[in-house]
């Protein structure tokens, strides 16, 4: 992907001309600044980054969540250009709602001369596919009291976007914690991050199977013991202990599946219903119990039992 791209020494003069005299804005500014300082340091360029604006410190949410909260469209997230545009959108929204300190512009006394350079966009490099990223099922604000802690947890959150930390990602996190001088806080930050993820999973009163699996992997990645936290259990229902006449609604099924489930439901003396209402439905049966469909949201709102199709069939067969 980068074989045709110029190295940092080639683009550094252009970058200096772009940044000097401007206030730098970034989503997790300390992290991006640490890379720029390192690369400029290799070239012996003493560039003053000033005091920029960190949209992450203002929103306290990862880029995707902050954009959703503020109604900003973002395409191809985690791609450099898309993320930069999203950050610009966040800044506009932030400035509309509240005043933000203007910051101190970056500065370099002697602006270097530049030569023309040619760069390639990723879509020009042989049609390399942009693989979609798996997003964790939970959204929550990042817990942090200091700018350094906030910056560290932002990178942790991004590395966990696929549900797991690789050895390389863990090494980079340790190095970044050392750079921020918060190595002694990492264990506490991991516990707080897990606690917030758990609270988000339990917010609807039902920690489903997918969320439980994710939390178990998250605890392992963060080296956190789940035994130290109270994990709410899914709403449980035993159809065998209920009298005939249970009102059961189905969602996410195909027409053929629904007809088959209706037949099983009726054969056991229960009543299939079309909608989920507070007084007109006892159980909702879903293909995916983590679905965010209107029926599922209504069931969670009123504490109506939710079963997967497999669980439903097991209950009625025993």
What would the pLDDT profile of 110-169 be if each residue is shown by its tens digit?
A: 766 666 555 444 444 444 443 333 434 465 666 667 878 888 888 888 788 777 888 889
Q: Quick check: 295 and 284 in contact, CB under 8 A?
A: yes
- The CATH-assigned architecture of domain 8-124 is 2-Layer Sandwich (3.30)
pLDDT at 29 over 60: yes
**Domain definitions of the chain by residue range:** 8-124, 147-228, 239-317
| CATH superfamily label, 239-317 | BRCT domain (3.40.50.10190)
Bridge partner residues of 251 (DSSP)? 286
pLDDT digits (tens, 9 = 90+) for 87-106: 999 999 988 887 777 778 88
Q: Quick check: 16 and 46 in contact, CB under 8 A?
A: no
Q: Quick check: 169 and 181 in contact, CB under 8 A?
A: no
The pTM score is 0.47
pLDDT digits (tens, 9 = 90+) for 265-304: 888 888 899 999 888 888 888 887 767 678 887 887 777 8
Neighbour tally for 246: CB within 10 Å: 19
């Amino acid at each position: 992907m980068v074989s045709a791209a110029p190295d940092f020494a080639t683009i550094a003069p252009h970058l200096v001309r772009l940044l000097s005299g401007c206030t730098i804005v970034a989503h997790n500014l300390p992290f991006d600044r640490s890379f720029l300082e390192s690369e400029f340091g290799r070239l012996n360029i003493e560039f003053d980054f000033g005091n920029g604006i960190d949209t992450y410190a203002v929103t306290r949410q990862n880029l995707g969540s902050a954009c959703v909260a503020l109604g900003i469209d973002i395409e191809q997230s985690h791609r450099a250009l898309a993320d930069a545009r999203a950050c610009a959108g966040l800044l506009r929204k932030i400035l509309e709602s509240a005043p933000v300190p203007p910051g101190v512009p970056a500065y370099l006394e002697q602006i270097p001369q530049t030569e023309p350079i040619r760069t390639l966009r990723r879509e020009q490099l042989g049609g390399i596919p942009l693989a979609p990223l798996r997003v964790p099922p939970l959204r929550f604000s990042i817990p942090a009291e200091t700018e350094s802690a906030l910056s560290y947890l932002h990178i942790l959150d991004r590395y966990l976007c696929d549900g797991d930390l690789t050895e390389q990602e863990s090494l980079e996190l340790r190095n970044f914690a050392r750079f921020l001088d918060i190595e002694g806080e990492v264990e506490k930050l991991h516990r707080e991050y897990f606690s917030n993820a758990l609270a988000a999973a339990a917010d609807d009163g039902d920690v489903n199977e997918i969320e439980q699996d994710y939390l178990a992997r998250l605890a392992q990645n963060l080296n956190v013991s789940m035994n130290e936290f109270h994990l709410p259990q899914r709403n449980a229902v035993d159809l065998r202990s209920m009298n005939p006449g249970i009102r059961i609604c189905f969602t996410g099924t195909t027409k053929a599946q629904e007809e088959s489930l209706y037949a099983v439901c009726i054969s056991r003396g229960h009543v299939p219903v079309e909608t989920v209402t507070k007084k007109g439905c006892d159980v909702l049966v879903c293909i995916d119990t983590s679905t965010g469909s209107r029926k599922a949201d209504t069931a969670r709102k009123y504490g109506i039992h939710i079963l997967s199709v497999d669980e439903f069939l097991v209950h009625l067969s025993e």
